[in-house]
Structures are given as structure tokens and as C-alpha cells.
């Protein structure tokens, strides 16, 4: 049994923390807002009243926060994560932030005598609940080896992809591919509907061939019903594609389809869909073609 601090019991963080509790660990969960405190209570862990209460004496601290500024704010200061941790402990940041911000987290941790991994996740809320996330890890191999049993309580695929910040590079690529898969599924559904095809049967066939994907499996029900209740919000995917766009510019890359996808996700947000699931790209595609989700 390990003593774990967990900061950020959001849509993804709550089930991740709950799976650590279910694996037999002592998990101290901190959420800043009243809503987060309610989610912290539902994990079965110990609800901490402060970052310091969650992190002091913990062997490992996991953070799962919405963006880079939130992570950098949480780890800094006299009452922040790093100041509250014991030297030699491990910080595992599961948030999705830019590679440059991840390197900054690693450098701040090292200055405080804390070992660090950037370990963003993929799999959505369903994957988090099932403990079936894919976890892409940047940092030292020996640090990953030490905490691997904890990560395997939350994910079925745990892979070191390089040094500091590498996990975030791979996560950015992941978010690009997910947006592309959702948009192409949306366009395929519109194409099928225009021809009067039975959508459910068509997706059964497509899912069994080369066009099949985890996106198709996990998003088909919501898209067929037009229910865009968030599992992963458009606002967050828009933020993630902003990370991709910035990294593209830094590397001088020309990725035209990426630019189009970024604009489409931004359009859903601009239309008031920030808090919808990213499968709401289907709603935008329907509107572009004069169709309604429930036709």
C-alpha cells in the first residue's frame, strides 16, 4: 500500500483516484471547489482540506488539472504541491499541458528535490472509470518502474515515450488524431444519412473493418442519439488543439488538416458548445448540411 496525494478530482480525476483507492492505497484527495469536494468524497479516499494535507508525507502525488496555468499554480508557492511534498517523493502530472510547460514542471520539481513524470492519459471518462486508460509517460525510466503498479491501477497501457515533456508531445498527437477520427465519423454519418442508409447497421460493418476505431466504439451511441453530454468537453479539446498549433509553429510544420480540425473544434465552442462533448462535432456537421440530429 502506498500513500498517495491526488489533486484534481474532476471528470477524469475522480475515477482515477477511485481506482487507486480500490487497489488498496491510502489516497488523500483534494479538490478546490465545492463540486470537487463532492467528487473527492465519492472516490472513497480521504478528503483533504488543503494541498498540504493531501501531499505532506505522500510517496507519490498525482495531479489532474485542466491546463498548464492551473498545474504551474498548484505546484508553486509555500503551500503548493512541491513545497508540501517530501524530498525524494514522486510527482506524476496526468494533466494535458504543453510540452514546454511540462519541462517547466520537471525543472521546478528537480529544484525542490522531487522526482517527476509527465503522464497524460487517453481514454475518456469511460476509460478512467474502467481503469483502462492509455498513459504516455515522459521522464526517467527508473521513476516509472517505481510507480508503475500505481499507474496500472488506472490504465492498461503504460508506456515511457521519452524524457521530460515527451508524454505531452504524444498526448498532443493523440488529441489531434481523436479530433480527426470524430470529424471523419461525423462526416461519414452525414454521408450515410443523405443516402437513407441504416446508420446502426452501417457502423457495425464499418467498425469491423479497417475503418473501425475506439472512437467509433465509444462515440457511436452518443452521436446516433444526438446526446452530447460531456465525457470530454469541447473547451478542453479546443485547448489541446491550441497546444498542437503552438508546437507546430515552434517546429515550423505545415499540417493543413490539423489547421482545419482546429478551426472546426473552435467553431463548436464559438457556437456555445464549450461544455458539450467533443462528439458535438457531429452537430456542427449536421448543421452545415441542413440536417437535425433527430431526423
Q: Single out the residue in 135, 162, 189 at which a domain terminates.
A: 162
Per the CB < 8 A criterion, the answer to whether 10 and 64 are in contact is yes
Domain shared by 12 and 140, yes or no? yes
- C-alpha–C-alpha distance, residues 123 and 155, integer Å: 9
Domain shared by 182 and 265, yes or no? yes
Domain shared by 211 and 154, yes or no? no
Give residue 294's pLDDT: 66
Q: Single out the residue in 162, 178, 201 at which a domain terminates.
A: 162
Q: How far is CA 182 from CA 30, 102, 262, in A?
A: 33, 27, 12
Domain shared by 8 and 32, yes or no? yes
Domain shared by 126 and 243, yes or no? no
Task: From the candidates 14, 106, 115, 171, give the one annotated as an active-site residue.
Answer: 171
Q: Domain residues for 152?
A: 3-162
Per the CB < 8 A criterion, the answer to whether 57 and 85 are in contact is no
Give residue 231's pLDDT: 84
Domain shared by 90 and 192, yes or no? no
Domain shared by 101 and 208, yes or no? no
Mean pLDDT (10-residue bins), the chain, 295 residues: 95 96 97 89 95 97 96 96 97 96 98 98 93 97 98 98 98 96 98 96 97 94 93 93 94 96 97 96 96 76
pTM of the predicted protein model: 0.92
Q: Which three cell numbers mark 136?
A: 504516455
Give residue 66's pLDDT: 92
CATH at residue 272: 1.10.1040.10
Q: Verify whether residue 171 is a known catalytic residue.
A: yes
- Count: domains in the chain: 2
Domain shared by 57 and 107, yes or no? yes
Amino acid at each position: 500500500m502506498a500513500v498517495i496525494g491526488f489533486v484534481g478530482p474532476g471528470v477524469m480525476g475522480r475515477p482515477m483516484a477511485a481506482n487507486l483507492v480500490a487497489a488498496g492505497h491510502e489516497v488523500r484527495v483534494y479538490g478546490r471547489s465545492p463540486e470537487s469536494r463532492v467528487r473527492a468524497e465519492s472516490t472513497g479516499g480521504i478528503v483533504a482540506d488543503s494541498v498540504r494535507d493531501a501531499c505532506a508525507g505522500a510517496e507519490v502525488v498525482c495531479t489532474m488539472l485542466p491546463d498548464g496555468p492551473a498545474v504551474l499554480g498548484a505546484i508553486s508557492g509555500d503551500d503548493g504541491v512541491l513545497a508540501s511534498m517530501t524530498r525524494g517523493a514522486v510527482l506524476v502530472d496526468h494533466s494535458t499541458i504543453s510540452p514546454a510547460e511540462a519541462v517547466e514542471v520537471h525543472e521546478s520539481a528537480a529544484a525542490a528535490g522531487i522526482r517527476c513524470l509527465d503522464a497524460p492519459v487517453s481514454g475518456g471518462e469511460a476509460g478512467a472509470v474502467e481503469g483502462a486508460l492509455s498513459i504516455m509517460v515522459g521522464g526517467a525510466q527508473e521513476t516509472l518502474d517505481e510507480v508503475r503498479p500505481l499507474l496500472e491501477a488506472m490504465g492498461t497501457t503504460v508506456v515511457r515515450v521519452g524524457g521530460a515533456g515527451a508524454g505531452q508531445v504524444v498526448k498532443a498527437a493523440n488529441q489531434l488524431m481523436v479530433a480527426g477520427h470524430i470529424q471523419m465519423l461525423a462526416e461519414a454519418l452525414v454521408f450515410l444519412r443523405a443516402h437513407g442508409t441504416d446508420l446502426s447497421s452501417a457502423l457495425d460493418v464499418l467498425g469491423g473493418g479497417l475503418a473501425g476505431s475506439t472512437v467509433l466504439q465509444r462515440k457511436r451511441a452518443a452521436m446516433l442519439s444526438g446526446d452530447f453530454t460531456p465525457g470530454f468537453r469541447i473547451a478542453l479539446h479546443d485547448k489541446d488543439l491550441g497546444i498542437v498549433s503552438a508546437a507546430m509553429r515552434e517546429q515550423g510544420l505545415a499540417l493543413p488538416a490539423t489547421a482545419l480540425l482546429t478551426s472546426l473544434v473552435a467553431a463548436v465552442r464559438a457556437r456555445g458548445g464549450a461544455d458539450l462533448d467533443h462528439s458535438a462535432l457531429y452537430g456542427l456537421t449536421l448543421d452545415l448540411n441542413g440536417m437535425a440530429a433527430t431526423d
